[in-house]
Amino acid sequence: MRNIAGCNKLERFSVAKRYPVLISRICVVLSRAIALIAFANVCAYVYLKPALPDVDSLRDVQLQVPLRVYTRDGKLLAAIGEQRRIPVRYEQLPKKLIQAFLATEDDRFFRHHGVDLQGILRAAVANLKAGGIRQGASTITMQVARDMFLTPRRDMKRKMSEIYISLLMEAEFTKEEIFSLYVNKIFLGQRAYGVGAAAEVYFGKSLDQLTVAEMATLAGFDRPLRGHPVASAEAAKVRRAHVLGRMLELNYITQAEYDAARLYPMESRLHGASIEADAPTSPRWCATKCRPSTAMAFIPPATRCSPPSTRACRQRHGGAAHRTLGIRSSPWLSRSTAKVDPSKLATPKDLEAQLEEFPVIGGLRPAIVEQVDAKSAKIYVRDIGEVTLPWEKLSWARRELPDEKVDRAPAQASEILTRGDVIYTVGRTAQSLLFVQVPEAQSALVSVDPKDGAVVALVGGFDYFQSKFNRATQARRQPGSGFKPFVYAAAFDKGYTPASIVLDAPIVIDEAAWSRRGGRTRTPTSSTARSACAMRWCTREIWYRCA
């Protein structure tokens, strides 16, 4: 018994002695592992350093933004560019929008130094449990580093470069600067880069007008994009619910806000740029001339286009220019644009759906003929509704006959229209509405302010979207009588007066190398002769004498 007790005492003593030894060995192994990892990191940094970019260049980063053309009174005419982007400062971001991105992308963003070790361990455990890649460990800083400096290729070299660049960025920039760069750079689908443009594209709002549900929707877009509402409203709802759940979990929103946002309807249509000038299409003619490739050659130095604003056009002059041309109010012949099946005209919703297929042309709205009576016609006009056209608004129409002849005046409305015809109208109210023809004639006009040379109106045709050929700047024509002021200016410079007499006789230049042919020889004529024909020859005579 004594020997057994002695053995147990020795065993207890030996085990007690082993613990410090075991712990010391573990510490040695860990310290060596840490030293080895540190050494490997130093070697990797030395190896990658020559290829690492200068993160300080982010201070001068130039985000690609569309050319935004404004009227002289500050209204937006057009936004031209492949990418839609509205840069915003950190101070302009709503707090809930910041929290929505933090909840879904990097909730420890303001606490780590570019690389989140806790997040890496959490993602590793989650991926091991799932048996595959389910969570990522990239911080917002790492995403900015990847998007700004690296390629999408996935390998260890790129990942290590991403980590080092992130650490360097955190040393050079504040968290607010990095987050602002992130939300302005990310691609959110439909040519929208950054949250400012995405809010306009998907919701037709500015950032300060977004609801919590809409902010969560923007933060929930997958990369590559699979969850934006236009691609799939249901997928967007699922992603939004995930973001809202994370925001609730992190106490960014209350339970009441969460419940209201979950029930908020998901909008799934696109919105255009918030164009503020409503002149029919002249802003487009002006705006296209403000592209960088053409602006400097076209617009006088005092008014050359330069983002973010330009003095190139005035909205109020654009509408007046179209009215001045008169092409809208001078239809020649009446004929319907197309015809739809009358059996599909049951409800206003059906009519609007049919009219969606026909564009608004130069401010002219499409309409469908619902009913034709003896001296009137009931039509359904896009965005206005049902309107009855009386006889005085129809009787101008004439049918087209062969050889460009016009038929007699109609006796009743059925000679002009039939049920199901698609026609065009002009007017904003039922009372002012007129039945018109989309004109085949095209005209152009340029109006210049003589005080400073600013182009205050430019119209290149009836409708920019129907024909983008700019007849004001792209067409090649003889100057005609527009050249006469230059001729007379040269004449005055040579001593001629309005009373000077010139001989309107045949002209030969360089010993018959060229001679004027055609017309008839006239007697001596004053330089202010009234006859158009005499004025033409007189102008030529003065030009030849002054050249």
Q: What is the pLDDT of residue 96?
A: 96
Q: What is the pLDDT of residue 486?
A: 85
DSSP codes joined into one string, 318-335: HHHHHHHH--SS------
Q: In 150-222, which residue ranges form alpha helices assigned H by DSSP?
A: 156-172, 175-185, 195-203, 212-219
Closest CA to 102 of 249, 223, 213: 249
| Phi/psi-derived region of residue 545, left when phi > 0, alpha when psi is between -120 and 50, beta in every other case | alpha
Tokens of 135: 């969570």
Report the alpha-carbon distance of residue 399 to residue 406 in Å, rounded.
6
Cis peptide upstream of residue 308 (ω within 30 degrees of 0): yes
Report the alpha-carbon distance of residue 323 to residue 344 in Å, rounded.
36
Kindly give, in sequence order, each residue whose CB lies less than 8 Å from that of residue 198, ignoring residues fewer than 6 positions away. Answer: 188, 189, 192, 218
**How do the pLDDT tens digits run along the chain, 547 residues long?**
455 555 555 455 555 566 676 777 777 777 777 777 666 666 666 656 666 777 777 777 778 887 777 777 777 777 777 788 899 999 999 999 999 999 999 999 999 988 888 877 776 676 677 666 556 678 999 999 888 888 777 777 777 788 888 888 998 899 999 999 999 999 988 888 999 999 999 998 999 999 999 999 999 987 556 667 887 888 889 999 999 999 999 999 999 999 999 999 988 778 876 665 555 555 566 666 665 444 333 334 333 333 333 334 444 455 666 565 555 443 444 555 688 888 877 788 888 888 888 888 878 889 999 999 999 999 999 888 899 999 999 888 877 777 767 778 888 988 888 898 999 998 888 888 988 888 777 888 888 888 888 877 888 888 877 888 888 888 887 878 888 888 888 888 888 888 888 776 766 666 555 665 555 555 666 655 434 444 454 555 555 555 5
Report the alpha-carbon distance of residue 524 to residue 544 in Å, rounded.
16
Report the alpha-carbon distance of residue 242 to residue 227 in Å, rounded.
12
Q: What is the pLDDT of residue 210?
A: 95
Out of 1.10.3810.10, 3.40.350.10, 3.80.30.20, 2.60.40.10, which CATH number does the structure's domain 85-263 have? 1.10.3810.10
φ, ψ for residue 187 (rounded to 5)? -90, 125
Q: What is the pLDDT of residue 277?
A: 58
Q: What is the pLDDT of residue 320?
A: 62
Query: May I ask the CATH architecture of the domain 338-436?
Result: Beta Barrel (2.40)
DSSP codes joined into one string, 36-93: HHHHHHHHHHHHHGGGS--GGGGGG-----PEEEEBTTS-EEEEESSSB-----GGGS
What's the N-to-C CA distance of the chain in angstroms? 139
Q: What is the pLDDT of residue 439?
A: 79
Whether residue 400 lies in the annotated active site: no
Q: What is the pLDDT of residue 449?
A: 85
DSSP codes joined into one string, 261-302: HHHS---------------SSHHHHHHHTTSHHHHHHHS-GG
Q: What is the CA radius of gyration of the chain?
A: 38
Alpha carbon distances (Å) from 35 to 161, 526, 533: 21, 104, 100
Residues β-bridged to residue 525? 502
Whether residue 105 lies in the annotated active site: yes
From 105, 214, 370, 541, the catalytic residue: 105
Tokens of 490: 């040269």
Alpha carbon distances (Å) from 515 to 420, 506, 521, 535, 541: 62, 7, 13, 19, 12
Q: What is the pLDDT of residue 120?
A: 74
DSSP codes joined into one string, 101-170: HHHHH-TTTTTSSSS-HHHHHHHHHHHHHHTS-------HHHHHHHHHH--S--SHHHHHHHHHHHHHHH
From 330, 481, 515, 531, the catalytic residue: 481
Tokens of 354: 């049919």
In this structure, the dihedral spanned by the alpha carbons of residues 461, 462, 467 and 468, taken in order and rounded to 10 degrees, is: 40
Report the alpha-carbon distance of residue 74 to residue 458 in Å, rounded.
18
Report the alpha-carbon distance of residue 224 to residue 370 in Å, rounded.
47
Q: Quick check: 408 and 362 in contact, CB under 8 A?
A: no
Q: What is the pLDDT of residue 329?
A: 40
Kindly give, in sequence order, each residue whose CB lies less than 8 Å from that of residue 381, ignoring residues fewer than 6 positions away. Answer: 365, 366, 367, 387, 425, 430, 433
| Strand pairing category for 455-459 and 445-448 | antiparallel
